[in-house]
Structure 1
Amino acid sequence: MSSHSPHGQSPLRTVQVLGGGNAASSAHVRSLAAGLVARGVRVTVCAPTESDHAYDFTGAGADHVPVPRSSDPASVAALRAACTDADLVHAHGLHASFRAVLALGGRRTPLVVTWHNRAHAEGARAHLLRLLERRVARAAAVVLGTTSDLVDRARRTGARDARLAAVALPGPRRAEEDPERPRAKVRAELGAIGRPLLMAVGSLERPRGYDVLLDAARVWGRLDPVPLVAVAGEGPLRAELQRRIEDEALPVRLLGRRDDVSELLAAADLALLPGAGESRSVLAQEALHARVPLVAALTGGVRELVGDAAELVPHGDADAFADAVVRLLADPERRELLRESGIRQAATWPSEDETVAQVLSVYDELTQPLPMI
Structure 2
Amino acid sequence: MTPLSSNAPHGQSPLRTVQVLGGGNAGSSAHVRSLTEGLAARGVRVTVCAPVEADRAYDFTGAGAEHVHVPRSSDPVSVAALRTACARADLVHAHGLHASFRAVLALSGRPTPLVVTWHNRAEAEGPRAHLLRLLERRVMRTAAVVLGTSSDLVDRARRTGARDARLAAVGLPGQRRPVVLDDPDLLRPKVRAELGATGRPLLVAVGSLDRRRGYEVLLDAARAWRALDPVPLVVIAGEGPLRALLQRRIEDEELPVRLIGRREDVPELLAAADLALLTSSWESRSVLAQEALYARVPLVATRVGGIPDLVGDAAELVPYADPKALADAVVRLLADPERREELRERGVRQAAGWPSEDETVAQVLSVYDELTQPRPLP
- Is the TM value for this pair above 0.5? yes
1:203 to 192, 208, 211: 208
Tell whether 2:43 aligns with 1:40: yes
1:172, distance to aligned residue in structure 2 (A): 2.1
Evaluate the alpha carbon distance shift between residue 201 and residue 173 of structure 1 in structure 2; reply closer, same or farther with a 3 A threshold: closer
1:77, distance to aligned residue in structure 2 (A): 1.0
1:266, distance to aligned residue in structure 2 (A): 1.4
Evaluate the alpha carbon distance shift between residue 150 and residue 3 of structure 1 in structure 2; reply closer, same or farther with a 3 A threshold: farther
Tell whether 2:98 aligns with 1:102: no
- Determine if contact 2:180/2:295 at 8 Å carries over to the other structure: no
Question: In the alignment, which residue of structure 1 is the partner of 2:347?
Answer: 342
Measured in 2, the distance between the counterparts of 1:58 and 1:260 equals 24
Question: In the alignment, which residue of structure 2 is the partner of 1:182?
Answer: 187
Matched residue SS, 1:368: coil
1:92, distance to aligned residue in structure 2 (A): 0.5
Measured in 2, the distance between the counterparts of 1:27 and 1:243 equals 33
- Determine if contact 1:3/1:12 at 8 Å carries over to the other structure: no
Evaluate the alpha carbon distance shift between residue 54 and residue 98 of structure 1 in structure 2; reply closer, same or farther with a 3 A threshold: same
How many residues are treated as equivalent by the alignment? 370
What whole-Å deviation, never above 9, does each CA across 1:164-216 have from its counterpart, x for those lacking one? 10000111269x99999722211111111100000000011100101111111
1:55 to 31, 55, 58: 58
Question: In the alignment, which residue of structure 2 is the partner of 1:364?
Answer: 369
Question: In the alignment, which residue of structure 2 is the partner of 1:88?
Answer: 91
1:69 to 52, 69, 72: 72
Matched residue SS, 2:62: helix
- Determine if contact 1:114/1:146 at 8 Å carries over to the other structure: yes
Q: In the alignment, residue 107 of structure 1 is paired with which amino acid? A: R
* Segments ≥4 residues shifted beyond 3 Å: 1-9, 176-181
Tell whether 2:143 aligns with 1:160: no
Q: In the alignment, residue 367 of structure 1 is paired with which amino acid? A: T
Measured in 2, the distance between the counterparts of 1:2 and 1:135 equals 35
1:251, distance to aligned residue in structure 2 (A): 0.9
Question: In the alignment, which residue of structure 2 is the partner of 1:235?
Answer: 240
Tell whether 2:139 aligns with 1:136: yes
- Pairing of 1:13-24 with structure 2 (within 5 A): 13-24=16-27
Q: In the alignment, residue 147 of structure 2 is paired with which amino acid? A: L
Which has the larger displacement, 54-63 or 312-321?
54-63
Tell whether 2:188 aligns with 1:191: no
Measured in 2, the distance between the counterparts of 1:38 and 1:336 equals 39
Tell whether 2:29 aligns with 1:29: no
Question: RMSD across aligned C-alpha pairs, in angstroms?
Answer: 2.2
Measured in 2, the distance between the counterparts of 1:14 and 1:70 equals 21
Measured in 2, the distance between the counterparts of 1:276 and 1:60 equals 34
Question: In the alignment, which residue of structure 2 is the partner of 1:117?
Answer: 120
Measured in 1, the distance between the counterparts of 2:27 and 2:289 equals 11
Q: TM-score, normalised by structure 2?
A: 0.93
Matched residue SS, 2:94: strand
What whole-Å deviation, never above 9, does each CA across 1:23-74 have from its counterpart, x for those lacking one? 1111111110010011111111111122112111111111111111111111
1:298 to 303, 313, 317: 303
Which has the larger displacement, 117-126 or 195-204?
117-126
1:7, distance to aligned residue in structure 2 (A): 11
What whole-Å deviation, never above 9, does each CA across 1:133-178 have from its counterpart, x for those lacking one? 110001100000011111111111111111110000111269x999
Q: In the alignment, residue 50 of structure 1 is paired with which amino acid? A: E
Evaluate the alpha carbon distance shift between residue 166 and residue 351 of structure 1 in structure 2; reply closer, same or farther with a 3 A threshold: same
Matched residue SS, 2:68: strand
Structure 2: runs of 5 or more not aligned: none
What whole-Å deviation, never above 9, does each CA across 1:325-355 have from its counterpart, x for those lacking one? 0110000011011001101110110000000
Measured in 2, the distance between the counterparts of 1:62 and 1:261 equals 27
What whole-Å deviation, never above 9, does each CA across 1:242-272 have from its counterpart, x for those lacking one? 1111111111111111111111111100000
Q: In the alignment, residue 216 of structure 2 is paired with which amino acid? A: D
Evaluate the alpha carbon distance shift between residue 173 and residue 201 of structure 1 in structure 2; reply closer, same or farther with a 3 A threshold: closer
1:369, distance to aligned residue in structure 2 (A): 4.1
Measured in 2, the distance between the counterparts of 1:257 and 1:343 equals 27
Question: In the alignment, which residue of structure 1 is the partner of 2:252?
Answer: 247
What whole-Å deviation, never above 9, does each CA across 1:294-342 have from its counterpart, x for those lacking one? 0001110100100010000011101110110011000001101100110
Question: In the alignment, which residue of structure 2 is the partner of 1:218?
Answer: 223
Measured in 2, the distance between the counterparts of 1:6 and 1:20 equals 35
Q: TM-score, normalised by structure 1?
A: 0.95
Measured in 2, the distance between the counterparts of 1:268 and 1:89 equals 41
Which has the larger displacement, 302-311 or 62-71?
62-71
What whole-Å deviation, never above 9, does each CA across 1:212-231 have from its counterpart, x for those lacking one? 11111111122111111111
Q: In the alignment, residue 351 of structure 2 is paired with which amino acid? A: A
Measured in 2, the distance between the counterparts of 1:91 and 1:184 equals 43
- Pairing of 1:236-315 with structure 2 (within 5 A): 236-276=241-281, 278-315=283-320
Matched residue SS, 2:174: coil
- Determine if contact 2:172/2:357 at 8 Å carries over to the other structure: yes
Question: In the alignment, which residue of structure 2 is the partner of 1:171?
Answer: 174
